[in-house]
């Protein structure tokens, strides 16, 4: 079904081909019918082995025949001594190897081989490893063979170090090494498991290996800058230190979170910020009525996340309307991993080398992207300008993936703005005129009161936007916004400006709505709007500028 | 210089318009010559072959040209005592063909011609201790079968019979350094497996466990200069990856990371103007498998001459709406 070229031939050639196929077909059909007849008759004998052998050699995907063969072998086992069974299955291995020569990618073949090894009184794992070596030397990307090799390695106790050396050899001598790099990515964690947070020494060993891996990947892509597998692997190495703290609670979230007020556990219902967000980093609850009515006293709240054995405390001080406790984005190194001095200097050297490579290969998109990633790992704010310039170049040299680069650049700009906001200790998020194509990390904007996203290329305010529970003012003029799903029950939102977008209700005139129930001029428009899905939103806002410039 | 990029070159005379009528004629006639060589040799997957043909015909609005009664009788004759369904009469049951059969019967709104409870028992019985699914009683494990299991049960409205947590746990254990998924834990990422795993996670409501940005990048890097998509790094493009890769991207909300115009040109170039149908790449022999995935890919790209296709089930959206199945997609 794959890779069969359509060849034009003469009428005579066509006729010859047709006759040939007719002959082949007849032979196949008669052999197939004979086998299935035998099986129906419950015959499990040598003849069955012979007939299936004939067919399977050129039709190894005919799974039912392998099944029949297994039934026959199991039957024959019952009447044989152990050493005869050994011979029986060794001969089977011989047959399978012949099939594999014809078709090295048949699921049926490889599975049957695994099955035979479970029946062999004495499997020979050394031989099996040899088979894998030979097979991979012919096609290093044969994933069936790699999967089989993993079984052989496990059964025979080959060491992780040995297998790492095996990948070293392949990577050193070959192109098209993705399978080897992938295998390495699975071997390393076995060799150097993730260290416990309080164990200093194992952390150093882990980092030592990591730095070796940088060198290995570096050597590969400096030998051949178009060897994409090494670049993929390198990106993984760069991300290895990042602690992705995903607060993903299951649907039964009320069991996972417990609220304690002034020492008393509270009966509360947790809800997501938006009905479409069933798995969310942000959860809301209302305190029981009257529980914090006395504002002349200080109140202490604790939220326990029982699944992760952790909690956070927060004090609501006298006379205060709001309070919070949060882990700072800068302290926690939320967007990048903490770098030791060693790692930092290694990455600095890597950045230099990559810049040199870029001078030789200015069109190499892998190099450009890697430079961006290295800069982010070292100093995201310091390298912001260069990063933006590199993204521009990336879109020029690799235009098929422009959307990806735009989204990735947007993500990094948002991360930088969050960091700047933290350092400045303000609650205003401003990113206008920055070619933003997407929004992310919205869970980090929970405390933001003012947000300016004007003059970008946003297409929507997604459901996640509902996490901006403290938002008072939204400016998002001059985008391409079609959907306002995320403007859902934002309790503090008072001012909304969404001019020059693509919100889908028919608007002819511009107008302000100060009080939706009073202005007669606005009523005709309001009538129209109230029939739209956004009526409940519009009702909520003290000042709402949506109408101007909407394209339908 | 080192590695050259493996790719194809599309000839200027390659087809560049959609020849829907020719494809419908090709599928309608396929298999009518029961003594055809390719046809007979592919008997071991006949049930899937029928599913490919029927689905593409339905997407083209031509389902009525197929022989409904004959197919339904055929499926009935393929259900075994254990409940499982085989690819053809006289062949052994397997999860792959059980899914295909259930998909066909869903298209025809005739699910009750088979013993549904027994199908459910068969699927349930194939789940292993570690949450994985075997393809049949002979024990081959593969995330493809995890997908087949949950897709089958979802279409029958019986997802609750399996151990969901363990099933999810197993699939997640197959997630790799690049965000992709392989056959088994430790297996290399492959677009076909990624489709099965993202489809699985969609059906089971666990898409939030996917690293969508990382996987989306790996997937959009499947697009080659010709515009076609390959299945993993440094392989040739193939029209069936227009489905496996594209559907995966759609499921994780990153389909806009592909250059749609270039992909469309590649897919159209894979058509055979003489015979109808699509081949894996321009100039090769056509078959129903690549025909379905070429057309389905074009549907995902927004071609209005084709019915909308569901990226998880690879079935027309209107069929799934009728059943009431709307699996989650990431935005």
**DSSP characters for A507-533?**
--S---BSSTTT-HHHHHHHHHHHTST
pLDDT at A489 over 90: no
Between CA A396 and CA A363 the distance in angstroms is: 9
The fraction of chain A above a pLDDT of 90, given in percent, is: 57
pLDDT of residue A250: 31
Tell me how close the Cα of B211 comes to any Cα of chain A, in angstroms: 10
Residue with tokens 């089989």: A148
| Closest to B220 in 3D by CA, of A403, A364, A226 | A403
Would the CB atoms of B221 and A141 count as touching at under 8 Å?
no
Whether B158 has a pLDDT exceeding 70, the answer reads yes
- Out of A47-61, A252-266, B33-47, the most confident range is A47-61
**Can you tell me the mean pLDDT for A505-534?**
38
- The CA distance from A140 to B118, in Å, is 42
Across chain B, what does the average pLDDT equal?
A: 96
| Min Cα–Cα distance to chain A from B40, Å | 8
Q: How far apart are CA B212 and CA B21, in angstroms?
A: 37
Find the DSSP H helices in A157-198: 160-173, 178-191
pLDDT band per the 50, 70, 90 thresholds, residue A338: low
Q: How far apart are CA B47 and CA B53, in angstroms?
A: 10
Q: What is the pLDDT of residue B174?
A: 98
- What contacts A268, CB < 8 A, 6 or more positions away? A259, A285, A286, A287, A288
Point out the least confidently predicted range of A414-428, B21-35, B198-212. B21-35
Q: How many CB pairs under 8 A join A and B?
A: 145
**Contact call for residues B2 and A175 (beta carbons, < 8 A):** yes
pLDDT given for residue B149 in this prediction: 98
Average pLDDT, chain A: 84
For residue B198, which of B210, B183, B216 has the smallest C-alpha distance?
B210
Q: How far is B91 from chain A (nearest CA, A)?
A: 6
Mean pLDDT computed over B97-124: 98
Mean pLDDT of B180-196: 98
| Residue A193, pLDDT score | 65
> Looking at residue A315, what DSSP letter applies?
E
Q: Is the pLDDT of residue A504 over 80?
A: no
Q: What are phi and psi of B3, to 5 degrees?
A: -70, 135
Say whether B183 and A36 touch across the interface (CB within 8 A). no
The alpha carbons of chain A give a radius of gyration, in whole angstroms, of: 33
Lowest-pLDDT range, A168-182, A366-380, A416-430, B173-187? A168-182
A25 vs B37: CB contact, 8 Å cut-off? Answer: yes
Q: Cβ separation of B138 and A70 shorter than 8 Å?
A: yes
- pLDDT > 50? residue A514: no
Element (H, E) at A175: none
Token code pair at residue A510: 């511009």
Q: Distance between CA A512 and CA A496 in Å, rounded?
A: 11
Does residue A34 surpass a pLDDT of 90? yes
**Start-to-end CA span in chain B (Å):** 40
> Cβ–Cβ of B258/A61 closer than 8 Å?
no
Mean pLDDT throughout A22-37? 93
Q: Is the pLDDT of residue A548 over 60?
A: no
The pair of structure tokens assigned to A175 is: 């192109």
Contacts of B252 in chain A (CB under 8 A): none
Q: If you search the block for the tokens 């109140």, which residue do you land on?
A: A299
Q: Kindly report the number of other CB atoms within 10 A of residue B301's CB atom.
A: 18
Q: Is the pLDDT of residue B1 over 70?
A: no
The pTM for the full model equals 0.92
Nearest-Cα residue of chain B relative to residue A249: B208
Whether the per-residue pLDDT at A144 is higher than 60: the answer is yes
Cβ neighbours of residue A278 closer than 8 Å, sequence gap 6 or more: A251, A272, B205
pLDDT attached to residue A312: 87
Query: What is the three-class DSSP state of A452?
Result: strand
| Min Cα separation A381/chain B (Å) | 21
pLDDT category at A545 given cuts 50, 70, 90 is low
User: Rounded distance, CA A368 to CA A362, Å?
Assistant: 8
- Residues of A with Cβ-Cβ distance to B35 under 8 angstroms: 25
Question: Which residue of B2, B100, B186 is the best one to mutate when testing the A interface, meaning the one whose CB has the most A CBs within 10 A?
Answer: B186
Instruction: Show residues of chain A in contact with B182, CB under 8 Å.
Output: 143, 147
Local confidence band at B65 (pLDDT 50, 70, 90 cut-offs): very high
Per-residue pLDDT at A164: 94
- Residue A383: pLDDT over 50: yes
pLDDT digits (tens, 9 = 90+) for A172-204: 887 789 999 999 999 998 886 655 555 444 444
Mean pLDDT of B168-182: 97
| C-alpha distance from A457 to closest chain B C-alpha (Å) | 14
Confidence grade of residue A333 (pLDDT, cut at 50, 70, 90): low
- Contacts with A70 from chain B: Cβ below 8 Å: 138
pLDDT at position B234 is 94
Mean pLDDT of B189-193: 98
């Amino acid at each position: 079904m794959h890779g069969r070229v359509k060849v034009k031939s003469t009428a005579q050639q066509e006729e010859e081909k047709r006759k040939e196929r007719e002959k082949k077909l007849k032979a196949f059909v008669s052999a197939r019918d004979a086998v299935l007849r035998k099986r129906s008759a419950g015959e499990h004998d040598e003849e069955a082995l012979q007939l299936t052998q004939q067919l399977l050699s050129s039709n190894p995907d005919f799974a039912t025949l392998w099944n029949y063969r297994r039934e026959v072998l199991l039957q024959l086992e019952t009447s044989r001594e152990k050493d005869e069974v050994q011979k029986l299955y060794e001969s089977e291995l011989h047959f399978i190897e012949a099939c594999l020569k014809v078709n090295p990618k048949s699921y049926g073949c490889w599975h049957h081989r695994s099955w035979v090894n479970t029946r062999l009184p004495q499997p020979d794992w050394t031989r099996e490893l040899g088979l894998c070596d030979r097979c991979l030397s012919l096609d290093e990307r044969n994933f069936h063979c790699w999967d089989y090799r993993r079984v052989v390695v496990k059964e025979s106790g080959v060491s992780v170090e040995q297998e790492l050396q095996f990948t070293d050899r392949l990577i050193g001598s070959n192109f098209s090494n993705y399978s080897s790099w992938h295998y390495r990515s699975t071997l390393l964690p076995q060799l150097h498991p993730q260290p416990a947070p309080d164990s200093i020494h194992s952390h150093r060993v882990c980092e030592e290996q990591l730095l070796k891996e940088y060198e290995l990947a570096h050597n590969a892509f400096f030998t051949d800058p178009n060897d994409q597998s090494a670049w993929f692997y390198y990106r993984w190495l760069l991300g290895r230190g990042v602690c992705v703290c995903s607060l993903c609670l299951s649907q039964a979230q009320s069991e996972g979170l417990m609220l304690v007020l002034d020492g008393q556990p509270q009966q509360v219902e947790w809800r997501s910020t938006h009905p479409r967000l069933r798995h969310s980093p942000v959860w809301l609850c209302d305190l029981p009525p009257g529980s914090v009515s006395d504002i002349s006293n200080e109140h202490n709240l604790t939220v326990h996340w029982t699944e992760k054995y952790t909690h956070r405390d927060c004090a609501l001080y006298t006379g205060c309307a709001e309070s919070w406790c949060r882990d700072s984005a800068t302290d926690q190194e939320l967007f990048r991993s903490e770098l030791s001095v060693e790692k930092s200097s290694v990455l600095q050297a890597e950045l230099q080398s990559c810049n040199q490579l870029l001078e030789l290969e200015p069109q190499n998109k892998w190099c450009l992207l890697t430079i961006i990633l290295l800069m982010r790992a070292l100093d995201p704010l310091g390298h912001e300008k260069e990063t933006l310039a590199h993204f521009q170049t990336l879109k020029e040299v690799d235009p098929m993936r422009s959307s990806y680069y735009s989204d990735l650049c947007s993500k990094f700009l948002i991360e930088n703005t969050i960091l700047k906001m933290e350092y400045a200790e303000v609650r205003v998020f401003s990113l206008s005129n920055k070619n933003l194509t997407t929004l992310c990390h919205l869970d980090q904007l929970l405390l933001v009161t003012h947000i300016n996203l004007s003059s970008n290329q946003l297409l929507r305010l997604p459901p996640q936007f509902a996490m901006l529970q403290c938002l008072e003012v939204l400016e998002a003029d001059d985008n391409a916004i079609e959907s306002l799903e995320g403007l859902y029950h934002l309790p503090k939102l008072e001012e909304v400006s969404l001019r020059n977008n693509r919100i889908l209700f028919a608007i002819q005139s511009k107008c302000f709505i100060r009080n939706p129930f009073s202005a007669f001029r606005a009523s005709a428009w309001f009538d129209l709007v109230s029939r739209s899905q956004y009526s409940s939103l519009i009702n909520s806002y003290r000042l709402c500028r949506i109408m101007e410039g909407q394209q339908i | 210089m080192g590695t050259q990029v493996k790719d194809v070159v599309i000839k200027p005379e390659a087809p560049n318009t959609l020849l829907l009528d020719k494809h419908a004629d090709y599928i309608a006639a396929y298999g009518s010559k029961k003594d055809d060589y390719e046809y007979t040799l592919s008997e071991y997957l006949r049930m899937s072959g029928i599913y490919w043909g029927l689905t593409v015909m339905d997407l083209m609005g031509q389902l009525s040209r197929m022989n409904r009664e004959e197919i339904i009788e055929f499926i009935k004759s393929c259900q075994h005592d254990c409940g499982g369904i085989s690819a053809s009469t006289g062949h052994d049951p397997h999860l792959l063909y059980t899914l295909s059969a259930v998909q066909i019967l869903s298209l025809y709104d005739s699910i009750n011609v088979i013993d549904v409870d027994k199908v459910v028992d068969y699927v349930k019985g194939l789940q292993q201790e570690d949450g994985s699914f075997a393809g049949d009683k002979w024990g081959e494990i593969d995330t493809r079968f995890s997908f087949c299991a949950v897709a089958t049960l979802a279409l029958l409205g019986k997802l609750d019979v399996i151990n969901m947590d363990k099933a999810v746990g197993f699939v997640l254990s197959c997630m790799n350094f690049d965000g992709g998924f392989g056959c088994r834990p430790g297996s290399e990422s492959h677009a076909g497996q990624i489709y099965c795993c993202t489809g699985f996670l969609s059906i089971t409501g666990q898409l939030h466990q996917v690293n969508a940005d990382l996987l989306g990048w790996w997937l959009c890097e499947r697009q080659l200069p010709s515009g076609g998509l390959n299945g993993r790094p440094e392989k040739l493009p193939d029209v069936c990856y227009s489905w496996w890769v594209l559907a995966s991207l759609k499921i994780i909300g990153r389909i806009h990371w592909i250059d749609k115009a270039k992909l469309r040109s590649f897919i159209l170039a894979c058509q055979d103007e003489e015979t109808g149908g699509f081949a894996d790449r321009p100039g090769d022999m056509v078959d129903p498998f690549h025909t379905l995935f070429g057309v389905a890919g074009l549907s995902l790209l927004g071609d209005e001459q084709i019915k909308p296709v569901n990226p998880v089930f690879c079935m027309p959206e209107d069929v799934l709406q009728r059943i009431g199945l709307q699996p989650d997609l990431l935005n």
